[in-house]
A and B are shown apart, each in its own frame.
Chain A
Amino acid sequence: MKSILSPRVGLFLLAAGLLFYPIVFSGAFYRDIGVAVLLAAIFASAWNIVGGYAGQVSVGHSMFFGLGAYTPLLFYTLWGWSPIAGIPAGILLSIALAVVIGMPTFRLTGHYFSMATIAVAELIRIFAGTWNLVGAAIGLQGPATARGWWDLTFRSELPYYYIFLAVLGILLTITAAMERRRFGFYLRAIKAGERAARSLGVPVRQTKMKALALSAAFTSVAGSLYAIKTGFIDPDSGFGILVSIQMIIVAALGGAGTLFGPLLGALILVPLQTATNTWFGGGGSGLTYILYGGIIVLIARFEPGGLFELWHRVVPERWRRAHAT
């Protein structure tokens, strides 16, 4: 007889909770937060693949987010196409960019990669601010009113919620599958000890490259979803460092390298951010980022594995084993 607290039951409850949340909490405010949580969970889970599992810490992941955000609105602005058409373009561009960055840096130590990500993200951000084709500093906008369902311009938050939930579901399923296979083991081995991994025949460079490409693709999708929902993008909201920070802190707080860590982080941080923005009023975002900086330092110093790791350390082994399947 399975214990009532087994992981399967937990997963079922989580899925049910996520599915029925916007129906139970039907106010616009609650649905807004729900959508924001899901979006954060998506881009943090995407970052998690390369930053959490493989241990290659990208601090400029916003570049993929921005590419995915700009392409749908660009296709709309230039040719009047549905923004959906831009999503694959964003994915391809992001993967290409991932290769450009990964190829030289993955043969060097991890720090080079991190530095490269921050430099390239900044480079693209400044450049986007000067390029008129993509709206320069002003940015781009999406359809003001829907010409059809394919514009994905909804008045209510509800359709967005379920679209985002579906994407999150797909991403987590792919990540779970990856975890169980050779690719997932190889990623963890690289994170745990690259030198040893190499000596065991792990193709380190190619594995890192695949992880980055996969991560970039999904981050791009997150960016596309964001742009389509908001109907607006500019260099800062697309490529800014604050976007990169969000991805990192959401994943790291919950537990980088775990399947549900990013979702947990999103569930905690997004409502928290909304609350601090309300409390601190106009100076809100400044204080929020001071808080974020502090949280990141604390995580790094005391619990790099995030809340999941903390749970594993604090809850005695026996209790956990007794309640597992």
Chain B
Amino acid sequence: MVALQVIVGGLLSGAIYALFSSGLTLIWGMMNFINFAHGEFVMLGMYVALLVVVWLGGGPAVFGIAAALALFALGVGIYLSLIRHVLRGPMLAQILSTFGLALLLRYTAFWIFSANVVSLPQTSLAGTINVGGIFLPLAQLAAGAVALTLTISLHVLLTRTTVGSKLLAVAEDRTAAMLMGIRPDRMQALAWGLSAGAAGIAGALMATAYPWSPSVGETFGLIAFVVVALGGFGSVLGSLYAGLIIGLIQAVSAFWLGAIYKDIVVYGLFVALLWFRPQGLMGKA
């Protein structure tokens, strides 16, 4: 039974990984750009949740939406002020831009919140629930379920709505999209908003179930890389599968080898992927 518990727990956190990683993969797919600060977006979502709870006393729905909106705005703002310019520039500028941003966000968070580990005060989702012999914290279950739903929703948004097809059009052929009356700049800003928003809400969900400190940004950023690499760059559905798999692998590694090894296994998997299957699960060889 313990094994099953570990597996389910891994899948639940994996669902959240899937959600924020889909944001990263969206940006890659749209503009061939890697956001090194993506993990920090998740981290900020967690702190937004904390602040909303502490200042306004809202429940999960409130701080969830707050995190999504706040990070959406941040994402758009970052695109307009920074990303848009470096996209036209050398690779060095592109990589340094979000790398520097990550540092800025991370150490500002350290400065404001200190390195202490925090967690959300008890919400309405306290307690554990017994599902067929497994004891799961209700918060984790709810967070995982919501994350799964949102990731699927993002996939549906991209593939079945008008907005989604506009985004995909820009991704595929900017010039053609412009000729069809789509504004690539707007779509790209929207993509950044969605990407950051997804990370933000994933962070808020994460916060309901697990404690954290500003250093989680770095870890989540790397996890996002692995998930996106495994799932295939540009594929939200791939991120979904890969996120679940990574969450599972992480939980099993922690259980089997010890907590300290869980990240080693995941990063090691990344290196192995680069060697043997860089296009990931959903990519073509």
Q: Is A–B contact present in the complex under a CB 8 A cutoff?
A: yes
| Residue positions of A touching B, CB distance < 8 A | 51-52, 55, 57, 59, 101, 103-105, 108-112, 114-116, 118-120, 122-123, 126-127, 129-130, 191, 241, 245, 248, 252, 256, 283, 286-287, 289-290, 292-301, 304
B275 surroundings in chain A (CB, below 8 A): 103-104
Q: Which residues of A contact B95 (CB under 8 A)?
A: 57, 59, 110-111, 114
Closest chain A residue to B224 by CB distance? A115
A119 touches B92 (CB 8 A): no
Once the chains bind, are B97 and A110 in contact (CB under 8 Å)? Answer: no
Task: Tell me whether A122 and B34 are in contact in the complex, defined as CB-CB below 8 angstroms, given that A256-B92, A293-B107, A297-B82 are known contacts.
Answer: no
Contact present for A293 and B102 (CB under 8 Å): yes
Residue B225, interface by CB 8 Å: yes
Within 8 A of A (CB), among B65-93: 82, 85-86, 89-93
**A42, chain B: closest CB distance, angstroms:** 20
Q: How far, in whole Å, are A253 and B33 apart by their CA atoms in the complex? A: 23
Decide if A122 touches B102 in the complex (CB within 8 Å).
no
Of B160-168, B173-181, B238-246, B263-271, the one touching chain A: B263-271
Contact A286 to B90, CB < 8 A, known contacts A59-B99, A111-B34? no
Q: Which residues of B contact A (CB under 8 A)?
A: 28, 32-34, 36, 82, 85-86, 89-97, 99-108, 110-111, 218, 222, 225-226, 229, 260-261, 263-264, 267-268, 270-271, 274-275, 278
Verify B278–A252 contact, CB threshold 8 A: no
Chain B, Cβ-Cβ closest to A297: B100
Known A-B contacts A115-B225, A287-B111, A301-B97; A55 and B264 likewise in contact (beta carbons under 8 Å): no
Distance between Cα atoms of A289 and B103 in the complex (Å): 7
Contact B96 A57 (CB under 8 A): yes
Closest B residue to A56 by beta carbon equals B91
Give Cα A191–Cα B103 distance, bound, in whole angstroms.
Answer: 25
Does more than half of chain A's interface fall in helix, strand or loop, or is it mixed?
Answer: helix
Is the beta-carbon distance between B226 and A304 smaller than 8 angstroms? no
Task: Name 7 A/B residue pairs within 8 A (Cβ), A-sorted.
Answer: A129-B260, A245-B103, A286-B111, A292-B103, A293-B106, A304-B92, A304-B93
A290 & B104 in contact (Cβ 8 Å cutoff): yes
- Knowing A119-B271, A293-B107, say if A57 contacts B91 (CB, 8 Å): yes
A196 CB, min distance to chain B CBs, angstroms: 14
Q: Is the CB of A297 within 8 A of B108?
A: no
Cα A119 to Cα B223 with chains together (Å): 9
Q: Does B92 lie within 8 Å of A55, measured CB to CB?
A: yes
Residues in B whose Cβ lies below 8 Å from that of A286: 107, 110-111
Contact present for A116 and B274 (CB under 8 Å): yes
Contact B90–A191 (Cβ < 8 Å): yes
- Interface contact A126-B260, CB-CB below 8 Å: yes
On whether the beta carbons of A300 and B96 are closer than 8 Å, the reply is yes
Are B103 and A112 touching (Cβ within 8 A)?
no
Smallest Cβ distance from A212 to chain B, in angstroms? 14
Asked if A301 contacts B85 (CB within 8 A), the reply is: yes
Kindly state the separation between the CA atoms of A191 and B93 in the bound complex, as whole angstroms.
12
A111 cross-chain contacts in B, Cβ below 8 A: 28, 32-34, 95
Residues of A within 8 A of B106 (CB): 289, 293
A294 in contact with B267 (CB, 8 Å):
no
CB–CB B100/A294 < 8 A = yes
Cα distance, A127 to B107, chains bound together (Å) = 24
Contacts of B100 in A (CB 8 A): 292-300
